[in-house]
Copies of this chain bind each other. A is one copy, B any other.
Amino acid sequence: MVKGKSTKGRQRIEMKSIEGEEARQVCFSKRRPSLFKKASELSTLCGAEVTVVTFSPGGKCFSFGHPSTSSVADRFLAVHTFDGLSMGSGRHGSQGSSGRSHEMNQQVMELQQLMETEKKRKERAVEALERESGGPVMQLLNANVGALGIHELEELRKELCTVQDMVKERSRKMLEDAMQTRRLPPQSHMHMVAMPSQVLFGAQRVGTREGLLVNSLLHGSLGGLDNYLNGQFGG
């Protein structure tokens, strides 16, 4: 019945790389969930967008994201691919929208809604396979997709990518036109590809909804790789 302390309890450790191979693994396995939990709490409590990506010492990949790793990555990309003009502050500073918390909230709400939407997209995709869809484009493609072979699928995918690029390009041009119509300052001379959406939106004060849409068109969906290509995930 002796209540002798069965363990040494928690002890302070140096912030150096843990020597033992196994001990390091164990430490990672215990701390990683905690890190994700903290990230989750931060997003839940503060309504912030957060993503965490880790590679264990063993090489395994773990990721957390709210609303999703990709969406945060896209937004990060958006900021670091463009941005830079409106606020010259150091580091990564940049407001997704203007500054009014009202617009902000709206943006956050729409993001959450988008999240919900995306969440169900997979389900809907399956349904779409069984029924005939309404969209004109859909109708054209619907019948074919099911019959394609693996190589045809590859071709189709390539074409879809190209089409999406066209959409992106088109939306970009629309913005360009819009800017010139509303007479923009001389600095509009910069490369379109690198043109910061924040600047565009900031200058024109495009409505939140449109802003999100265009942003989505510019980076959306196929986005991920652009991250990589355009450089940054900051670092």
Contact = CB atoms under 8 A, between A and B. Distances in A.
Name the residue in A63, A108, A233 with the highest tally of chain B Cβ atoms < 10 Å from its Cβ. A233
Given A40-B233, A138-B163, A228-B67, A46 B56 contact: yes
Contacts of A101: 21, 58
Interface stretch (A3-11, A27-35, A182-190): A27-35
A16 B44 contact: yes
A133 B153 contact: no
Chain A interface SS verdict (over half): helix
B63 A234 contact: yes
A197 interface: no
A235 B45 CA distance: 12
Interface string A71-115: 111111101110000000101111111110100100110000001
Interface of A: 13, 15-18, 21, 24-25, 27-28, 31-32, 34-36, 38-77, 79-81, 89, 91-99, 101, 104, 107-108, 115, 118-119, 121-122, 124-126, 128-129, 133, 135, 137-138, 140-142, 145-146, 148, 150, 153-171, 174, 193, 210, 213-214, 216-217, 220-229, 231-235
Return the 4 tightest CB-CB contacts between A and B, nearest first: A70-B224, A125-B165, A66-B235, A73-B233
